[in-house]
């Protein structure tokens, strides 16, 4: 079909067979430059509600139409800020306000620790903002566009260059606008009408959609009901193998063994690989040549002798030297571990003024009936200073009297590092002014007193 034929066809039909209300005029142009020129003239003529439709990006067409920069970046920015604020507020509320929980003396609220979630939520909110904002600005989703009814318009995806002025433009006039478009030298001007009012969604679709919607809610209602109704029958197991796997779980019952325990104690006289702790000085702080005389129950807190008297821990054959090479690195490690595990009660200096102790004393003063809190003695006091390193090691491993054990949290080598640092704390905590070299002492004295 030649171009002339097409033109006469479309003009004769004038957009659609049904004569709905006038929606606008669509002018077709032979090439991008003609369209661009027409667009600027339309803009200069004062039209606002018009747009160009082209099969490929045309340079300069945005300026010709007068399209302003998209507002999408601002939407995304606002979403990112909301995301970051939400994340910080959430973390503040949960960690520092609603459920304060001391974890190794770390601060409740700290920006570095909050960065990952803040970053993630900013990105998530921006992504939603970008997608939904783009859809909203483009007025999408739109399932139907009356321009698609125009015969020549479909060429906008292959070879057509169109300019459409909408009837809702304040400057629009039924005849003047058409004359104006014709003055722009288009190859064709087509009248576009609103689709016939009688075209409606078939009535039957509405009840069907309602049924589908209601059916879709049924599973949710069933699930909600199941959650609150006690059942007397066993639940339905869709994948039985997944619910009952041929393995034993920790602390669970098992039918396989006569005593019903899923977890098996080690067979007497055997050891798992790597569990042999033959070096008693390293693993227990006991002298290797006397360790076989020690009843291991006596190492535990509040141990009693056979006659009911308390075990005297000081008398056990403890090692008096740290059984691993001692260097600055071990000392630094010991300081770090002490500050993490011990300082909460004993205080950073070992004085016994850690934050837990302080709070316990405060609570006790406010309400004497809450129970008693035992003040840990200063770690640099005489009785603790006199203890051999093996006994200090044992105190960390098993705890002592009221102090809980830290053997499960602190690995053996770290325990020795802490013992080393304890010795340093004792040295500094019990030092006398004469222990300081004379020249530094003078400097200290010169320091202004408060």
Q: Counting contacts by CB under 6 A, is residue 400 touching ligand HEC?
A: yes
Residue 87 or 410: the one with the smaller Cβ distance to ligand HEC is 410
User: Which residue in the set 36, 193, 346, 388 belongs to the binding site for ligand HEC (CB under 6 A)?
Assistant: 346
Residue 137 or 374: the one with the smaller Cβ distance to ligand HEC is 374
Report whether 161 contacts 32 (CB < 8 A): yes
Q: Counting contacts by CB under 6 A, is residue 344 touching ligand HEC?
A: yes
Q: Counting contacts by CB under 6 A, is residue 379 touching ligand HEC?
A: yes
Give the rounded distance of the alpha carbon of 214 from its chain centre: 35
Residue 182 or 302: the one with the smaller Cβ distance to ligand HEC is 302
Touching ligand HEC, residues 228-257 (CB under 6 A): none
Among the residue ranges 100-108, 149-157, 214-222, 337-345, the one whose residues contact ligand HEC (CB under 6 A) = 337-345
Q: Counting contacts by CB under 6 A, is residue 402 touching ligand HEC?
A: yes
Residue 304 or 443: the one with the smaller Cβ distance to ligand HEC is 304
Q: Counting contacts by CB under 6 A, is residue 396 touching ligand HEC?
A: yes
Q: Which residues pair with 27 in a beta bridge?
A: 163, 189
By rule CB under 6 A, what string of x and - marks binding of each residue 285-324 to ligand HEC?
----------------------------------------
Cβ neighbours for 18, distance < 8 A, ≥ 6 positions apart:
193, 195, 196, 198, 199
Query: What is the tally of helices (H) and strands (E) in the chain?
Result: 16, 4
CB of 385 to ligand HEC, least distance (A): 10
User: Which residue in the set 27, 54, 121, 418 belongs to the binding site for ligand HEC (CB under 6 A)?
Assistant: 418
Cβ neighbours for 374, distance < 8 A, ≥ 6 positions apart:
401, 402
Total residues in contact with ligand HEC, by rule CB under 6 A: 23
Residue 150 or 396: the one with the smaller Cβ distance to ligand HEC is 396
Among the residue ranges 32-40, 85-93, 322-330, 375-383, the one whose residues contact ligand HEC (CB under 6 A) = 375-383
How far, in Å, are 94, 137, 198 from residue 90 at the CA level?
6, 30, 53
CB of 375 to ligand HEC, least distance (A): 7
Report whether 142 contacts 153 (CB < 8 A): no
Among the residue ranges 36-44, 48-56, 175-183, 343-351, the one whose residues contact ligand HEC (CB under 6 A) = 343-351
How far, in Å, are 46, 284, 327 from residue 391 at the CA level?
93, 9, 21
Q: Counting contacts by CB under 6 A, is residue 340 touching ligand HEC?
A: no
Report whether 392 contacts 385 (CB < 8 A): no
Q: What is the dihedral of CA 331, 335, 340, 342, to 10 degrees?
A: 100
CA distance 338 to 333: 8
CA distance 76 to 74: 5
- Residue 123 DSSP symbol: H
Strands 22-29 and 161-166: antiparallel
Q: Counting contacts by CB under 6 A, is residue 52 touching ligand HEC?
A: no
- Residue 161 DSSP symbol: E
Residues of this chain that bind ligand HEC (CB under 6 A) = 341-342, 344-346, 356, 374, 376-377, 379, 384, 392, 395-396, 400-404, 406, 410, 418, 422
């Amino acid at each position: 079909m030649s171009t002339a034929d097409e033109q006469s066809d479309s003009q004769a039909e004038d957009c659609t067979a049904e004569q709905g209300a006038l929606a606008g005029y669509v002018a077709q142009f032979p090439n991008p430059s003609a369209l661009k020129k027409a667009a600027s003239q339309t803009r200069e003529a004062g039209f606002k509600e018009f747009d160009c439709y082209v099969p490929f990006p045309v340079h300069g067409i945005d300026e010709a139409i007068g399209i302003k920069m998209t507002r999408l970046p601002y939407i995304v920015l606002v979403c990112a800020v909301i995301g970051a604020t939400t994340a910080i507020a959430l973390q503040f509320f949960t960690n520092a306000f609603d459920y304060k929980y001391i974890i190794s003396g770390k601060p409740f609220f700290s920006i570095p620790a909050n960065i990952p979630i803040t970053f993630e939520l900013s990105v998530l909110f921006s992504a939603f903002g970008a997608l939904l904002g783009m859809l909203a600005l483009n007025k999408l989703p739109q399932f139907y566009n009356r321009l698609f009814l125009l015969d020549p318009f479909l060429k906008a995806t292959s070879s057509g260059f169109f300019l459409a002025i909408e009837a809702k433009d304040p400057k629009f006039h039924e005849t003047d606008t058409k004359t104006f478009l014709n003055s722009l030298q288009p190859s064709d001007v087509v009248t576009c009408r609103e689709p016939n009012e009688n075209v409606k969604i078939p009535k039957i679709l509405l009840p069907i959609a309602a049924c589908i919607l209601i059916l879709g809610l049924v599973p949710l209602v069933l699930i909600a009901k199941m959650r609150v109704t006690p059942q007397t029958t066993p639940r339905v197991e869709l994948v039985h193998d997944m619910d009952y796997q041929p393995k034993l779980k920790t602390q669970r019952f098992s039918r396989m063994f006569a005593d019903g325990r899923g977890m098996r104690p080690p067979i007497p006289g055997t050891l798992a690989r790597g569990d042999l702790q033959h070096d008693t000085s390293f693993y227990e702080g006991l002298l290797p040549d006397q360790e076989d005389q020690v009843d291991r129950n006596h190492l535990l807190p509040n141990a009693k002798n056979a006659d009911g008297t308390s075990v005297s821990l000081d008398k056990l054959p403890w090692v008096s030297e740290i059984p691993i090479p001692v260097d600055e690195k071990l000392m630094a490690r010991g300081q770090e571990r002490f500050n993490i595990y011990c300082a909460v009660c004993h205080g950073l200096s070992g004085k016994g003024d850690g934050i837990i102790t302080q709070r316990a004393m405060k609570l006790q003063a406010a309400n004497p009936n809450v129970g008693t809190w035992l003040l840990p003695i200063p770690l640099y006091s005489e009785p603790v200073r006199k203890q051999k390193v093996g006994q200090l090691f044992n105190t960390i491993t098993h705890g002592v009297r009221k102090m809980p054990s830290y053997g499960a949290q602190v690995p053996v080598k770290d325990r020795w590092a802490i013992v080393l640092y304890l010795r340093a704390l004792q040295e500094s905590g019990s030092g006398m002014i004469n222990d300081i070299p004379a020249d530094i002492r003078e400097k200290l004295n010169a320091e202004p007193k408060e």
